[in-house]
């Protein structure tokens, strides 16, 4: 988009703004710097954020947002139409669609917003008044910059790129994490949080690699390893605990997203694949060791975090995570536990 095409918008003329990013954890987290930029440009505007229920804790309590809209995950026409009716009733002046997926773009299409901004996507670009490309002609934008570029499309000058901004844990959530640390006598110990899964097999490093890494880390004195993951990771948790046969602790399936952030902030190190928890870790001061497989660190690295990233140079990267060309997930599985261990030692 050339400068001539950029609209000139006075902040006083925009009273109501809707932001849309329905899923998932990391994608939502990486919109928060754009929210900060938008609030600076429109300090008096009412800014709402549309998200699916499982992820509301990532934006609920953000001081730059005035309202959270929850889109039901159930794909029933009645509930979806009801949601759109609510959006139309609110009469937004401006919509920034950070998602541009099928449901998000339909919300935008039927919103009756005065100005709609989104990404240049085949078959959906007609919905938006302004579109921008998701990537450069050569190379990649970081996802955070991609979202900020939607704000730039308004003609907003961005002098500096803000950090991630996630809501703090509530008092009862802080107490829960403090109790876990106290009950397990972890004060003075170097806590290492290891995320054992990443939502799909393409980003799954494998139990064998995880157990070897854990055994290597146990060579260090004064450390405590805590496994992290969602309820869906219970099978992986059981396999790791059974195979390692070492005194590990686990919080798999026991924390909400704010509690997870609070725990990571108390740790000495976070280790895991490119995942939602990795991006949660990036919003804290805790160092990160992350391994990337089908995704590229150039696009999804921990934003403004102290991190060491490991990835292999394969021609098939990045991929759409629908079919592994080699059927062995080598881009991730070929990262050796010894490589990750050496990276951990940099921070321990």
**88-136 confidence digits (pLDDT tens):** 999 999 999 999 999 999 999 999 999 999 999 989 999 999 999 988 8
Confidence of residue 2 (pLDDT cuts 50, 70, 90): very low
Token output for 121: 């996507």
The dihedral region occupied by 222, where left means phi > 0, alpha psi between -120 and 50, and beta the remainder, is left
Residue 248: closest CA among 184, 205, 202: 184
Last residue of a domain, one of 152, 180, 210: 152
Alpha carbons within 13 A on the beta-carbon side of 54: 11
Residues 310 and 213 in one domain: yes
Question: For the segment 52-98, what is each residue's pLDDT rounded down to a tens digit?
Answer: 999 999 999 999 999 999 998 877 899 999 999 999 999 999 999 99
Residues 276 and 179 in one domain: yes
Torsion of CA 311, 316, 322, 325, to 10 degrees: -110
User: Residue 199 falls within a domain, yes or no?
Assistant: yes
What's residue 138's pLDDT? 78
Residues 119 and 267 in one domain: no
Residues 122 and 224 in one domain: no
User: Residue 159 falls within a domain, yes or no?
Assistant: no
pLDDT at 4 over 90: no
User: Residue 301 falls within a domain, yes or no?
Assistant: yes
Domain at 229, CATH number: 3.40.50.2000
Residues 129 and 59 in one domain: yes
| DSSP structural state of residue 20 | E
User: Residue 29 falls within a domain, yes or no?
Assistant: yes
Token output for 241: 């605990």
Q: Are 260 and 180 in contact (CB under 8 A)?
A: no
Q: Are 29 and 283 in contact (CB under 8 A)?
A: yes
Last residue of a domain, one of 97, 120, 152: 152
What's residue 198's pLDDT? 74
Residues 194 and 302 in one domain: yes
User: Residue 164 falls within a domain, yes or no?
Assistant: no
pTM reported for the whole predicted model? 0.94
Token output for 191: 């806590």
What is the edge-to-edge ordering of all strands in the sheet holding 190-195?
A: 249-250, 223-228, 190-195, 269-273, 288-292, 307-311
pLDDT at 5 over 60: no
Residue 343: closest CA among 308, 292, 312, 318: 308
Cα–Cα distance, 181 to 8 (Å, whole number): 53
User: Which sign, positive or negative, has the C-alpha torsion 127, 96, 89, 50?
Assistant: positive
Domain count, the chain: 2
Q: Which parts of 109-268 are beta strand (E)?
A: 115-119, 130-132, 190-195, 223-228, 249-250
Last residue of a domain, one of 152, 182, 212: 152
What's residue 7's pLDDT? 56
Average pLDDT over residues 156-170: 94
């Amino acid at each position: 988009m050339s400068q001539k095409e950029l609209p000139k918008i006075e902040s006083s003329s925009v009273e109501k703004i809707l932001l849309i990013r329905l899923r998932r954890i990391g994608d939502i987290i990486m919109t928060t710097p754009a929210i900060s930029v938008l609030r600076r440009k429109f300090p008096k505007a009412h800014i709402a954020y549309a998200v699916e229920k499982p992820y509301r804790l990532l934006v609920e309590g953000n001081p730059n947002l005035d309202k959270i809209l929850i889109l039901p995950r159930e794909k029933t026409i009645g509930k979806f139409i009801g949601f759109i009716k609510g959006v139309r009733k609110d009469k937004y002046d401006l919509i920034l669609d950070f998602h541009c997926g099928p449901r998000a773009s339909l919300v935008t299409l039927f919103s009756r917003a005065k100005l709609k901004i989104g990404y240049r996507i085949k078959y959906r670009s007609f919905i938006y008044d302004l579109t921008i490309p998701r990537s450069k002609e050569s190379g990649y934008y970081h996802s955070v910059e991609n979202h900020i570029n939607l704000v730039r499309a308004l003609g907003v000058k961005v002098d500096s790129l803000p950090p991630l901004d996630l809501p703090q844990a509530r008092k009862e959530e802080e107490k829960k994490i403090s109790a876990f640390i106290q009950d397990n006598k972890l004060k003075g110990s170097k806590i290492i949080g290891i995320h054992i899964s990443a939502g799909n097999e393409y980003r799954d490093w494998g139990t064998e690699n995880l157990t070897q890494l854990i055994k290597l880390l146990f060579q260090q004195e004064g450390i405590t390893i805590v496994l992290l993951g969602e309820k869906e990771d219970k099978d992986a948790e059981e396999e790791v605990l059974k195979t390692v046969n070492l005194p590990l602790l686990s919080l798999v399936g026991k924390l909400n997203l704010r509690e997870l952030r609070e725990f990571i902030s108390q740790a000495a190190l976070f280790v895991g694949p490119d995942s939602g928890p990795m991006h949660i870790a990036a919003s804290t001061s805790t160092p990160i060791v992350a391994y990337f497989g089908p995704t590229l660190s150039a696009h999804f690295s921990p934003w403004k975090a102290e991190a060491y990233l490991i990835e292999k140079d394969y021609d098939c990267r990045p991929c759409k995570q629908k079919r592994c060309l080699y059927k062995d997930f080598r881009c991730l599985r070929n990262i050796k536990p010894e490589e990750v261990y050496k990276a951990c030692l940099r921070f321990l």
